[in-house]
Structure 1
Amino acid sequence: MAVVLAVAWGMTDGEKAPLLFKGGLFLHSVGAALLIVVIAQVPGTHAARCAGSRQPRRLGEWSYSLYLWHWPVYLVLLPRLSWLGEWGALAVAVGVSLAAAAATKRYVEDPVRFRSGWARGRRGPAAVAALALAGLALWLLIPVPAAGAGTVDVDQLR
């Protein structure tokens, strides 16, 4: 099932495929859910051991931060890395997204979740203000995405 999902994603035009928005995402979600059910029912298989190994679990721990970072990184970085080719630019964007997600989990999510010193007492509001200022500075420093980056042609969806 994992191979079928990967092949289906690879054979289509990824996020640019018009069929993705006409039931393709739903079918992909159903396939992923079926894969999870099968793995949960037969936990001793090679596929189940691979899915439960360290790397997928770590990716699951980073998933929220990755969700927050992947799209802005792709919009800003991919158009500027065209000289690396499609796969090279994608590899760099994935690496930057993963690094940003790992840093966000370690330095923002975990301290708040585990009530680190900077998240308690009088230092908490100061830390939040510093993070907000850093976010604002980052927002002001990031260039405007290239025209057409990350857009969907609505006419193809009909």
Structure 2
Amino acid sequence: MPVKRLIAFVRALTTGCAVLCFCFMVLAVSVQVIGRYVLPIKLGNAVESAAFAQVWLACLGAGLALRHGAVFAVDALPAALPLWAARVASVLIAAGSLVFLAVLIYGGLLLTRQGASQTSPTLLLPMWTVFLAVPVGMGFMALEVVLRVFERWSDPFAPVFETETSQ
């Protein structure tokens, strides 16, 4: 199915970007520490670029955490509901999450537009490249919210490890 391939591609791309951001953060901070304590140089741009990578990692990682069931949820009550009621609860929770994420996406777009006229202090990068992490990351999280409802329709509140191994 083309839709399943597209979803798999988006998930792989997002995972790859998150891993790349994490690796870059480790490298940048390591270079900064070595530069400060081993060599007599200060690398402010390493700190700033690591902070920007951390922003992207946090925004993309939210959707990844949701996909792997690492987002905090109190689901003892919904798990005890009959299947039809659990499905309704799942849809209502997803709808509330989507409203919240829509507000974040909208705010992120406003922030990105404002960042078009700003540059970062050390690297002189346009700030919209950093601020774009919010609408992109929250958009990915919204996709994961919707996919979670469909993928877990047969048992919406089953433990995640059970549903991942059965797919």
TM over 0.5: no
TM-score (norm 1): 0.30
TM-score (norm 2): 0.29
Give the structure with the larger helix fraction.
1
